[in-house]
Amino acid sequence: MKTVLTRPVAGQKAGTSGLRRQTRDFMVPGFLENYVQSILNGIGGAAGKTFVIGGDGRYFNQEAIQTILRMAAANGAEKMIVGQNGLLSTPAASHLIRLHGTDGGFILSASHNPGGIDADFGLKFNMPNGGPATEAVTDAIFAQTTNISEYYIAEAGDIDLATLGQTSLAAMQISVVDPVADYVALMQTLFDFDEIRVLFAGGFRMTFDAMHAVTGPYAKAVLEDMLGAAPGTVINGTPLPDFGGGHPDPNPIWAHELMGIMTGPGAPDFGAASDGDGDRNMIVGRGAYVTPSDSLAVIAANAHLAPAFADGVVGVARSMPTSGAVDRVAAAKGMDCFETPTGWKFFGSLLDAGKVRLCGEESAGTGADHLREKDGLWAVLIWLNIIAKTGKSVSELMTDHWAAYGRNYYTRHDYEAVESATAATLMQELEDRLPDLAGQGFAGLTVQSADVFAYDDPVDGSRTTGQGIRIRFDKDARAVLRLSGTGTKGATIRLYLERLETRGDKLHLDAQTALAEVIAATDEITGIAARTGRKGPDVRT
């Protein structure tokens, strides 16, 4: 073992999705080591503990894992469970933590951010329940980064991560496991695979875009090898260190290849995509894009069709920026419904307490009580289960859903890489004006209320503040503004716009058209385009 003196890395605070920085930052000697030691110190040490470790395969993934293994051994960890070749999707890692009852896990990913030596890298610690670290733990880790003086690392060569089986590093056991097998076994217990096989055998066609990210092997094993989808159903299925030069974010902008297939001649019946680490999803029908908010609502309305929910759904939860579509389903079906801050750890508290069984957030994350993370492939499979049981297409399911519950027209506008000071000033000045907005009219809408969202956890009583600005208009309309913490350059201002429509002849408009008043009113209030120097948002979803 080698003890290395170091200097504090103050300011390296992880958010709900861990610490994300440019890859070259993590490659600076001592940067990764300082952060890993801070994690180990912040969780009370590693002595005698077992951890899961794996990542999405982006550039520097295996090198970082080798470093973490040597540090875990030097800090007295008893065992590490590693995905073969260093690969584990975030849902699969969460499952392994729970399956083996470990003391947590290290997940190496920057989620949907691009990968490569000149792109992004990330590392987060997940708790023994399989979910992201709580605020108390992330605060403890941050405190360690401000005064760390040394880290511990074993002097040893690299471990063979390509060969399944048992090995050791100093006194620490290492188990290299199939990254796919246990996750696939879990999926078989949740869905009616026989019914879905019949669907594919009857000529049903789909395309799954893995975006050269970690979900490729999982999707091929489940969809093609087990469910009988045609060979080639999974496209871009080989994980690559730079995701093939693409941006592994499953939305209509970045998954443009899939969108072209689903809107082109001879389109398949169903399309889906997942992100860099496999926890997000996009659902598309033939010529029909499903928003994340609508997807959660449709799943909640039809969950009973999957074996996992045969006994019903006691409650659902959504992040505050997610549309209220699922709220209407919950009210109709007598489910409890919770509105939380963004971040899966808030759902984890509700899931652990048995208050909810389904969760979803605005950034294409959907999941359930089988894990404590969002799960991209799970979302695809429950949609397939619903389609197989109902015999309806995506378009038919959406039409029926809107007829029954109304349509929450919804869009997200992202202003990316905004100069941080500009973004912070814009948000602060808007927050200062909130008390004066009620009753004022903007672009044909009247503000009914405006506030900064705060959340009181019904399980532990903790209060979380500063979770985004909410502006409620008349005509069942709403706007939400948040600063995103998922980028590594500047700030991203995310603007979420929503309006409920229940008139039958108005349920099939283009979303941007249906939301034109809300878009105009929000821009009039915030001046966001002019303040950022943009003609419009960088991304519309």
Q: Which residues are catalytic?
A: 111
C-alpha span between 319 and 332 (Å, rounded): 20
**Hey, which bits of 200-269 come out as E strands?**
206-209, 234-235
- Specify the residue for token string 């492939």: 377
Contact 353, 374 (CB under 8 A): no
What are residue 306's phi and psi, to 5 degrees? -95, 140
Q: What's the CA gap between 2 and 153, in Å, rounded? A: 5
Residue 27: exposure state from Cβ atoms within 10 A (0-12, 13-18, ≥19): middle
Q: Cβ(368)–Cβ(357) under 8 Å?
A: yes
- Torsion from C-alpha of 124, 130, 132, 134, nearest 10 degrees: -120
| Strand ranges (E), 203-311 | 206-209, 234-235, 270-274, 281-285, 288-290
Distance in angstroms (rounded) separating the CA atoms of residues 110 and 225: 29
Q: Are strands 281-285 and 288-290 parallel, antiparallel or unpaired?
A: antiparallel
DSSP category for residue 413? E
Classify 173 as helix, strand or coil.
Answer: strand
Fill in the amino acid letter for 435. P
Residues forming a β-bridge with 539 = 414
Structure tokens given for 153: 């690392």
